[in-house]
Amino acid sequence: MLLPPANWLPQAPLEHLHLDWLTSAGIEVAILRLDQIDPLISGNKWFKLVEHLKAADRAGAEGIISLGGAHSNHLHALAAAGKRLGFKTVGLLRGHAQETPTVQDLQAFGMQLHWLGYGGYRARNEPGFWEPWLAQYPQLYAVPEGGGGLSGALGCAAIKEQAQAQLATLGWSDYHGWWLACGTGTTLAGLVLAEAGVHPVYGALAVPEDHGVAPQVESIMQSAGLATAGYELIDASRGGFAKVDPVLLEFIEQTEQASGIPLEPLYTGKALLALKQQVEAGRFAPGTRLIFIHTGGLQGRRGFSASR
């Protein structure tokens, strides 16, 4: 069994986000703290993994093989889950061998690593990519980069339930939409599936538009047999994935001081700054209530800070 005990369900607190630029615009935002669900298996990554683990169990697999980079939140959560729940994990990494805090954790958690170089990693979406790896590890179940695909999205649909169950504690009876960072679009797709058009989902792109998030979301919707309405993608990449600038870093520092909520510059920090820009541009009417998802990823801050 790869799955945790049935009574192990990580819970994310939903709390008011008090910031001056929201108050002055008359906008209410509640932040769903996925960064607090678990010390290691943090953020949206657990939700993206859970349906993959169920599929691996059904297939009789002994563990998971997946892909990511040297700061990958997905591989970090996967390796931590493997160590905690006792299943084997193998990571196929982008680029050449390097030491980062994340890589050190992967090794400490018992994940076996293979570095693919950059050309080898680019081949991950080509037909036949998985064949030699599954021949080498026939007892493992292959999970896409970032825990993506329909299975990853279906796991993320549970995020809506966690938020809705806590609305009354905020004094809310309803809300007007979701706002979150997008890397692959899997979490956004899960929320779109769960909402089925009732509330819009706004995705702040942490990657440039040419990284294919929109086609990936559409592919998941088609796999689920649903239309692709109900969401909007907004460019928040600030020039590229992992691109940061003084404005972003200053915004993160000020927001952390004002709210006490830790952010990172690759996903959640960019998403919240993009929301501020949209609010100041008059995108949302006074009285709008939004749920902002803190997708975690704080472990990746360590290597980022060390490289600056």
What is the pLDDT, as a whole number, of residue 307?
42
Contact in structure between 112 and 89 (CB atoms under 8 Å): yes
Q: How many CB atoms lie within 10 A of CB 39?
A: 8
DSSP conformation letters of the chain: --SPPTT------EEE---HHHHHHT-EEEEEEGGGS-SSS-TTHHHHHHHHHHHHHHTT-SEEEEEE-TT-HHHHHHHHHHHHHT-EEEEEESBS----HHHHHHHHTT-EEEE-HHHHHHGGGSTTTTHHHHHH-TTEEE--GGG-HHHHHHHHTHHHHHHHTTHHHHT-S--SEEEEEESSSHHHHHHHHHHTTSS-EEEEESS-GGG-HHHHHHHHHHHTT--S-SEEEEE--TTSTT---HHHHHHHHHHHHHH-----TTTHHHHHHHHHHHHHTT-S-TT-EEEEEE---GGGHHHHHHH-
What is the pLDDT, as a whole number, of residue 41?
83
Report the CATH number of the 14-38+151-307 domain. 3.40.50.1100
What is the pLDDT, as a whole number, of residue 300?
66
What is the pLDDT, as a whole number, of residue 275?
98
Question: Nearest-CA neighbor of 102 among 49, 45, 144, 148?
Answer: 45
The domain 45-148 is placed in CATH, from the list 3.40.50.620, 3.40.50.1100, 3.30.428.10, 3.40.50.80, at: 3.40.50.1100
Q: Does this chain's domain 14-38+151-307 share its CATH topology with 45-148?
A: yes
What is the pLDDT, as a whole number, of residue 306?
41
The CA distances from residue 85 to 4, 54, 82, 156, 164, in Å, are 6, 13, 5, 20, 29
User: What tokens appear for 6 in the block?
Assistant: 């049935």
What is the pLDDT, as a whole number, of residue 152?
95
User: Which amino acid appears at position 88 of this protein?
Assistant: K
Domain boundaries, the chain: 14-38+151-307, 45-148
What is the pLDDT, as a whole number, of residue 9?
66
Q: What residues in the chain have per-residue pLDDT under 70? A: 1, 3-9, 228, 300, 302-308
C-alpha torsion sign, points 207, 208, 212, 218: positive
What is the pLDDT, as a whole number, of residue 17?
98
pTM for the full predicted model: 0.90
